[in-house]
Amino acid sequence: MATRKIREMGESVLGKVCKEVKEVNKRTLDLIDDMFDTMYEAQGVGLAAPQVGILKRIFVVDVTGEDPMVFINPTILETDGEQTGYEGCLSVPGKTGTVTRPNYVKVRAYDENMEEFELEGEELLARAILHENDHLDGHLYVEKVEGELLNTADLADEEEEA
C-alpha cells in the first residue's frame, strides 16, 4: 500500500488544466494504485490525479466501497436533472458545502487498459464523477457552493468527501 500526499486548496497544482493521457505505462498503473490507496485511507469516494500533484486526466471513484472505477481522459457526454446536497473534497479537509449538480451523468472514458467505455451514473455516483471531472480542469467544488462553506464537524456525518 502506497499513499501519496493529498494536495490542499491553495496549492497551484489544483488550479491547472490536466493533460490527456497518451499511453498507460507502469508509472501510470502505479499512480492509479496509489490513488486508490490514498482515497481509501482518507475515506473518500473519489480522487483526481491533480489531488496528488499529477497533472494528468485521470480520476478514480468508488461510491460503495466495493466498486472501484478508473476514468482516463473522460468526456461528459450528457447530464440531466438536478440534485442538491452536501459535498466535500479531500483537498479541502474539514469543510463541506451545499452544491447543486445534475442528478444524472453519462460519461465516456478509458480504463487502465486504455479500453474505451461509457457509463451512466445517478445521484452520488453522478456527483462524484462531475466533482472529479472538475478537478481535471482546475476547478474545486468550493466555486459552486451555495451559501457558506461549513465545518464538517458541525454537521451530522452524512456527507461524502471526494
- Give the number of C-alpha atoms closer than 13 A to the C-alpha of residue 87, restricted to the C-beta side: 29
Quickly tell me which residue has 502506497 as its cell.
Answer: 2
The contact mask relative to Zn ion for 84-103 (x = CB under 5 A, - = no) is -----x--------------
The cell for 5 is: 500526499
Report the residue number whose CB is nearest to Zn ion.
89
- Compute the least distance from the CB of residue 32 to Zn ion, in Å: 17
C-alpha–C-alpha distance, residues 75 and 78, integer Å? 9
Active site residue 8: no
- Compute the least distance from the CB of residue 90 to Zn ion, in Å: 6
Which of 143, 141, 113 has the alpha carbon at shortest distance from 45?
Answer: 141
Q: Which is nearer to Zn ion, 22 or 63 (CB)?
A: 63
- Compute the least distance from the CB of residue 96 to Zn ion, in Å: 12
Total residues contacting Zn ion by CB under 5 A comes to 2
List the beta bridge partners of residue 86. 98
- Would you please indicate which residues are annotated as catalytic (active-site) residues? 132
Interface with Zn ion (CB under 5 A):
89, 162
